């Protein structure tokens, strides 16, 4: 099973600042099949990024994904109030499909 | 616009079987380019993939459920279902259904259905 480790657990930032979230895989994702989701309380996860760096439909340009093999990053260039939420990475390269433990982006 | 909606009992007794159905609207489950999946999230915890089904009935499961999960599809009703047998309190979670394309992650998701295991 591919284990995904997200860091940091919590990121305390102010609106307008840049957020950098990390996701490390225990094995190489040679396909680049790594996705990022945003989740707000009481709601289902929302797909932000797939294929490491491809933005899902309707996702603002301030969100970007990068990385390769075992190290992946989600960046939010300038945090808007609605961006404060939980973020999960997920690999869909090998079964079982797995998720990271999440990074909470909170208002400082 | 594709929409998915989970339905089923919100309370299940320990050792019994949890049953949920996902109704699909705005599209067909009989598509040859997508899987239909179930995931869950215990209160305050992270996400876990349970399994997927293709419209032909081919299934893929997470071994973590130790063969307790069964996913089926009903193309005539445009829905798919999940059963988890011998449930314990550890199976208490919000259960989500979602679509997954070939080489794609889960999108969209249903709104989720909270299932509590308690006597």
Top residue of B47, B61, B109 to mutate, by most chain A CBs within 10 Å, is B47
Q: Mean pLDDT over residues B100-117, rounded?
A: 97
Q: Give the residues of chain A that fall short of pLDDT 50.
A: none
Q: Is the pLDDT of residue B92 over 90?
A: yes
pLDDT of the residue at B66: 79
Average pLDDT score, chain B: 96
What's the gap between Cα A104 and its chain centre?
10
- CB contacts, 8 Å: A102 with chain B: 46
**Window 47-86 of B, Cβ < 8 Å to A:** 47-49, 60, 62-64
Please report, for residues A47, A82, B112, the alpha-carbon distance to residue A91 in angstroms, rounded to integers and kept in the order given. 13, 25, 21
What is the 8-class DSSP label of residue A64?
A: E
Confidence of residue B78 (pLDDT cuts 50, 70, 90): very high
Count CB neighbours of B117 within 10 A: 19
Q: Mean pLDDT over residues B5-9, rounded?
A: 97
pLDDT of the residue at B47: 98
pLDDT of the residue at B3: 97
């Amino acid at each position: 099973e591919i284990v995904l480790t997200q860091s940091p657990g919590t990121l305390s930032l102010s609106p307008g600042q840049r957020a950098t979230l990390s996701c490390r895989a225990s094995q190489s994702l040679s396909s680049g099949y790594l996705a990022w989701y945003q989740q707000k309380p009481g709601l289902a996860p929302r797909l932000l990024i797939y294929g490491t760096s491809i933005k899902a439909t309707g996702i603002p340009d301030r969100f970007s994904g990068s990385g390769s093999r075992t190290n992946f990053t989600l960046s939010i260039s300038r945090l808007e109030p609605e961006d404060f939420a939980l973020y999960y990475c997920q690999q869909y390269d090998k079964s079982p499909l797995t998720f990271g433990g999440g990074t909470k982006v909170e208002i400082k | 616009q594709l929409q998915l909606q989970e339905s089923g009992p919100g309370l299940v007794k320990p050792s019994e079987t949890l049953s949920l159905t996902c109704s699909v609207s705005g599209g067909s489950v009989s598509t040859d380019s997508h899987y239909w999946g179930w995931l869950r999230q215990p209160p305050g915890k992270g996400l876990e993939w349970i399994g997927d089904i293709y419209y032909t009935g081919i299934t893929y499961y997470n071994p973590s459920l130790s063969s307790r999960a069964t996913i089926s599809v009903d193309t005539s009703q445009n829905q798919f279902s999940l059963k988890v047998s011998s449930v314990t309190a550890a199976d208490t979670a919000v259960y989500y259904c979602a679509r997954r394309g070939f080489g794609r992650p889960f999108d969209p998701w249903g709104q989720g259905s909270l299932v509590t295991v308690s006597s």
